[in-house]
Amino acid sequence: MARFATALCFALLLCLPAAAAPGGAASAAGDPQRRSALERKNDALRKELELAQGNAFYLVVDPSARMLRLMLKGVVLQGYTLSRLAVGIPSAPLHRSAPPDLAGFLAADGSLDPPRERDRFELVVGPGSASDSLPEVPVPPPAEEVYRIPVRFWIRFSGGVAVEIRSRLSEHTSFKQALFDRIWEPLKASFEDLSNRDRDPVRLLLELTRDDAASLYRVLPPDTKLLILPSE
Amino acid sequence: MPRTPRSTSGSPALPRVLRTLSSNTAEREAAGGTGVKPARDPAREDGSRLASARPLPDARTLEEGPPPEPVRVPNVAPAATGPRAPDTLPKGKKTSKRKKDEPPADRAICAIPDLPIVLPPPAAADGATRARKARRRGRHILWILPLGFLLLAGVLFGVRACGFRYRSLADLTSAAGAPAVDPPRGGDAGKGGPPTIEKLEREGSRLTAALGDKVPKGTYLVIDQTHNRLYLRKHKETLLEAVCSAGGGVVLIESGGGNRKWVFDTPRGQFKVLNKIENPVWKKPDWAFLEEGEPIPKDPNERFEYGMLGEYALYFGNGYMIHGTLYERLLGRSVTHGCIRLGRDDLRKVWEACPIGTPIYIY
């Protein structure tokens, strides 16, 4: 524990000059800074146009608008407001690695983890089956009751990038549920992070309301792509 | 309630005090209840036991009757000459509190002649022992709780420190947060200099316009087949939100010679309204007969069914349609064979708002 505390203090000390630097650099850079911003924006627009011309569904993370959009062919199918956007990399107490530049980042083959499980009703019938001997197809429950939605889940993309979706507590959450979500879930998440360190070299953390997170979990089409726009 | 004394040798039960006075081990036990620890007594080891020489009271007298008479302990040798009393004391002695002006117990035994020791009834002794143990346990808990909390906090801190380090995405994706200025891209790179800001802005406008062209100019339909919702939109405005029914995902397998299989899912992707039909007639496919356990007719005229699809149908390819239903109570549930069912009023609005060619986005 003493080592960890020392490492934390050391990391904080290292972060101080890094946190102070960008402001000064921005004022000094002037036009190159603006050129760089425009280039990054155009690069992201080019990628977005490319996605809009394809047939795949894609997610667009817009840090400026704090929005996550599910899109197809340039049309927003569903938009989710994000309460938190963060990039996580496995922490090394004594090794400070630079976080990746994610502006214009593009990833493919997104799939849900844990996967959505759907029970399909199978009906086997023959040409001569009597109508009264056929099993009755049950009326399925509404979508909200079909899937059990985890409090946090991942959309894993090829190349080792994962988007972690976390649910934010709604105002109507019961005290017991709130206690569970605020204490047990973060604890569980921390232990899970330990085992996922090698699995996710880069992790994008997005926090949504519980309803939005559940909706995204239910509707996300398979093989979705991901684009991260630069912030302004 | 005092416990009934039992003899381990199988003899009739002896009073505890009697057993206490007849053996050294038991004596120590009884004396422990008084708060005065028995010191090793050389005189007693010689066999000159005053206490045991006295007539013993009845067990009932001790347990339930008036307080017992004091039992005198014989004079003991000074601490310097005899074996040192504290060496033989139990550890608990050091923590027991003494009353004011009372000499230490070991000295008291040594210095005061004929020190009267009152042997309390066994029940009282047990109660005092239990109380002392409880106090000791309470003291342990006072230490264990904060220590446990500190340990837990340390483990959690370690786990979090070894997990993931998070930074705001807005910082990392802004130009200021970028690690370095990207090298020039595009055609201007070959001309030697980086593109001017005006050129970059023009290119940005062109790309933005191209992206904007992707969004339909007129009305379009967006269907969320998971939540069974249909949205009629124009640009970014939603003109209508309707409850619909999408494919139930049932798998129908034909047994026997056919071995055909149907999966009743609604397709995902972009489609267009290809045809609009008023008062549509349903031409029942083979699976509809199989599903109902009816034989597949050879006469095509036997396949037509009237009124099943409601007043209107918007055909969008591969046999899929947006149509009405006779079973409006099932709207909102995924029960169809892949088509989109709408209620009567909503279907009419969609029919009026969507001409042929209207884009449909299903996810």
Mean pLDDT of A180-193: 73
Task: Tell me whether residues A91 and B165 touch, CB distance under 8 A.
Answer: yes
User: How confident is the model at residue A10, as a pLDDT?
Assistant: 57
Mean pLDDT of A25-39: 70
Q: Quick one: pLDDT band at residue A9, thresholds 50, 70, 90?
A: low
pLDDT of B101 strictly over 80 = no
Q: Which range (A109-118, B34-43, B130-139) has the least confidence?
A: B34-43
pLDDT of B328 strictly over 60 = yes
Q: Which range (A164-168, B127-131, B137-141, B207-211) has the least confidence?
A: B137-141
Query: Rounded to an integer, what distance in angstroms lies between the CA atom of residue B83 and that of residue B77?
Result: 9
**A186 touches A12 (CB < 8 A):** no
Q: At what angle do helices A185-196 and B122-161 cross, to 10 degrees?
A: 50
Q: Quick one: pLDDT band at residue A60, thresholds 50, 70, 90?
A: very high
> In angstroms, what separates the C-alpha of B276 from chain A's closest C-alpha?
24
Q: At what angle do helices A31-53 and A2-29 cross, to 10 degrees?
A: 100
Decide if the complex's ipTM is over 0.90.
no
pLDDT of B322 strictly over 60 = yes
Pairing of strands B312-317, B269-272: unpaired
**B73 touches B50 (CB < 8 A):** yes
DSSP-derived secondary structure for A6-55:
HHHHHHHHHHHHHHHHHHHHHHHH-HHHHHHHHHHHHHHHHHHHHHHHSS
Mutate to test the interface with B, among A48, A76, A87, A202 (most CBs of B within 10 A): A87
Tell me if residue B103 falls in helix, strand or coil.
coil
What are the chain B neighbours of A193 within 8 Å (beta carbons)? 159, 163-164
Handedness of CA B111, B112, B113, B117 (dihedral sign): negative
Contact residues for B103 (Cβ-Cβ < 8 A; gap 6+)? B111, B112
Contact residues for B126 (Cβ-Cβ < 8 A; gap 6+)? B3, B33
**B71 touches B116 (CB < 8 A):** yes
User: How confident is the model at residue A170, as a pLDDT?
Assistant: 65
Q: Measure CB to CB from residue A140 to each of B179, B294, B333 and give the nearest one.
A: B333
Retrieve residue B219's tokens: 């009305």
Q: Residue B179: count other Cβ atoms within 10 Å of its Cβ.
A: 10
Backbone angles phi, psi at A185, to 5 degrees: -65, -45
Query: Rounded to an integer, what distance in angstroms lies between the CA atom of residue A177 and that of residue A110?
Result: 30
pLDDT of B84 strictly over 50 = no
Q: Measure CB to CB from residue A49 to each of B160, B211, B249 and give the nearest one.
A: B211
**A156 touches B286 (CB < 8 A):** no
Four-CA torsion B174, B176, B177, B179, nearest 10 degrees: 120
pLDDT tens digit string along A98-144?
Answer: 667 788 889 999 999 999 887 788 888 876 666 566 677 778 888 88
User: How confident is the model at residue B17, as a pLDDT?
Assistant: 41
What are the chain A neighbours of B175 within 8 Å (beta carbons)? 33-34, 36-37, 40, 230
Q: At what angle do helices B197-214 and A31-53 cross, to 10 degrees?
A: 20
Tell me if residue B308 falls in helix, strand or coil.
coil
Task: Tell me whether residues B226 and A191 touch, CB distance under 8 A.
Answer: no
| Core vs surface per residue B217-248: b (16+ CB within 10 A) or e | eebbbbbbbbbbbbbbbeeeeeeeebbbbbbb
Retrieve residue B50's tokens: 């005053």
Residue of chain B nearest A30, judged by CA positions:
B176
Higher pLDDT, A6 or B334: B334
Query: Rounded to an integer, what distance in angstroms lies between the CA atom of residue B340 and that of residue B247?
Result: 7
Q: Measure CB to CB from residue B250 to each of A23, A137, A143 and give the nearest one.
A: A137
Report which of B226, B34, B256 is spatially closest to residue B126, judged by C-alpha positions: B34
Q: Measure CB to CB from residue A101 to each of B179, B208, B363 and give the nearest one.
A: B179
| Core vs surface per residue A73-101: b (16+ CB within 10 A) or e | bbbbbbebebeebbbbbbbebeeeeebeb
> In angstroms, what separates the C-alpha of B227 from chain A's closest C-alpha?
6
Tell me if residue B286 falls in helix, strand or coil.
helix
Q: Quick one: pLDDT band at residue B330, thresholds 50, 70, 90?
A: very high
Task: Tell me whether residues B154 and A1 touch, CB distance under 8 A.
Answer: yes
Pairing of strands B320-323, B275-278: unpaired
Q: Residue B11: count other Cβ atoms within 10 Å of its Cβ.
A: 8
Higher pLDDT, A76 or B235: A76
User: How confident is the model at residue B303, as a pLDDT?
Assistant: 94
Query: Rounded to an integer, what distance in angstroms lies between the CA atom of residue A69 and that of residue A36?
Result: 25
Mean pLDDT of A48-60: 96
Q: Residue B30: count other Cβ atoms within 10 Å of its Cβ.
A: 20
pLDDT of B187 strictly over 50 = no
Sole residue written with tokens 């399925």: A140
Q: Quick one: pLDDT band at residue A4, thresholds 50, 70, 90?
A: low
Q: Quick one: pLDDT band at residue A57, thresholds 50, 70, 90?
A: very high
Retrieve residue A20's tokens: 């102070």
pLDDT tens digit string along A147-172?
Answer: 888 888 999 998 888 999 988 776 66
Provide the residue type at B252 as one letter: L
User: How confident is the model at residue B292, as a pLDDT?
Assistant: 85
Task: Tell me whether residues A77 and B296 touch, CB distance under 8 A.
Answer: no
Mutate to test the interface with A, among B157, B164, B197, B252 (most CBs of A within 10 A): B164
Query: Rounded to an integer, what distance in angstroms lies between the CA atom of residue B157 and that of residue A1?
Result: 8
For chain B, what percentages of helix, strand and coil (3-state, to nearest 5) are there?
40, 20, 45
